Amino acid sequence: MLEYAAYGLVLFSLGMYVVLDGYDLGVGMLSLAAGPERRREYGEIVATAWDANESWLILAGVALWAGLPGAYAVVLPGVYLPLIVMLVSIILRGLGLEMHGAAGRYRRGWALLFGGASLAAAVCQGLVLGAVLCGPRQRGGAFDGGAFDWFNLYGVLCAVGLVVVYLLAGAAWLQDKTEGWSRPGLRRTGRSLLLATVGMALVLGLLLPGAEAQPLHPGRPVQAVLLWLTVGVAAVAGAVAWYGFGRRPDWRPFAAVATMTASGLLGLAALTLPVVVPPGLTVHQAASPHSSLVFLVLGVGLCMPFVLAYNVYAWRSFRGKYSDPVESPVPPLPARGRALPAAPTSTGGPRTMVRRALLTLLGILATALSQDVFGGVSDLIGPIGVTVLSAAALAAWIVGDRRDGRAGYFDADPGAETTR
């Protein structure tokens, strides 16, 4: 049962990544066809939560590596090249996004880097998806193919389909967050992308049996019911998105597109279960030992609410339409003369000290659980060693804060003046 929980964590993380990071990848690709002012606006919209969106990709990788190492060992060696390009693209995308808002020169170049890296990341993800659905060559539980097996016709079609899905999500998100698009233009763009998405879904679905080493058919009635239920939900959501583009409320198309995407992922999982890597690697064969699954389900499962809370907080903080902020110059920090003694600076008082002590105790508890409860081994560092290291870290934390306070690093009052 725990292996299915681990598989559920992988699917949930991947689904959250596709739904959340998909729209900002789509906005990045749409910025390639926008003007300078629009590019700046798109970048500001994406910058509100793009880093939290990509956290789900990390959680998916950790859950796959720790919970389903058999699938990890087969899939990763077959898609190293597109994954490396995807990671480099994500790094360059973040660089372009931040520099476009901060650099005084070459703004157009940074904006093009942001949009081009978004396109490259989406294409690589589609190629990885196609390689997995085609079934990596394997023997004895290990990858047995070539370095370019991922490059095939079905993988290219998956890349095109994923790009179209991300563009659709980006257009729906822009309707919710911007005011500049005309309603008729927004309706035409959204509906065109929706038709392209439906067309690519039909093509990929019809070609899916040919992409597999063995045709995939629902083997149990429950799977068939789940499959057709997800198809029905996706169809209804598509109709809602079709009607909602260019009409108020502006949030409706994005909610419908997110529902379509989640339904498609669930339908694919229902179609293949219990196979996780075609043609025949099942959840039971790919799963970790029981103790590792317990650690994974508790560890990663406890991390997910925090990432979700950050997403919700960011969405709530930046809810509503984007408005161009009025920027005011930030006054410089006051210069502190070397000849005068620095005024004593508070480091937070007893409340801060208690909070930091509790955080340190929490770290000790997490370390002890990970070593003693789940692993059953404490040969390298015992409880006394963990306590000493944690106490040393706490002491260094307090001493460093006090030193920085005496140096004036915490004194950022713009109204303060210093006389020499």
Integer Cα distance of 31 and 25 in angstroms: 10
Integer Cα distance of 165 and 23 in angstroms: 9
Integer Cα distance of 193 and 142 in angstroms: 39
CB atoms within 10 A of CB 66: 19
Which fold, 2-317?
A: Formate dehydrogenase/DMSO reductase fold (1.20.1630)
Residue among 126, 135, 139 nearest 29 (CA): 126
**Per-residue pLDDT at 376:** 54
**Per-residue pLDDT at 259:** 92
Residue 135: its H or E element: none
* Beta-sheet strands, E only, within 35-102: none
- The one-character DSSP state at 32 is G
Where the chain has pLDDT below 70, the residues are 101, 103-106, 180-182, 209-220, 322-390, 393, 396, 400, 404, 407-420
CB atoms within 10 A of CB 248: 9
Verdict on whether the full-model pTM lies above 0.75: no
Summarised one tens digit per residue, pLDDT across range 177-213 is 887 666 777 788 889 999 999 999 899 888 876 544 4
Residue 287 CA from chain centroid, whole number: 24
- Neighbouring residues of 362: CB distance < 8 A, sequence distance ≥ 6: none
Integer Cα distance of 227 and 218 in angstroms: 8
**Per-residue pLDDT at 366:** 61
Residue 281 CA from chain centroid, whole number: 26
**Per-residue pLDDT at 121:** 93
Residue among 278, 261, 220 nearest 11 (CA): 261
Dihedral of the alpha carbons of 302, 307, 311, 317, in degrees to the nearest 10: 90
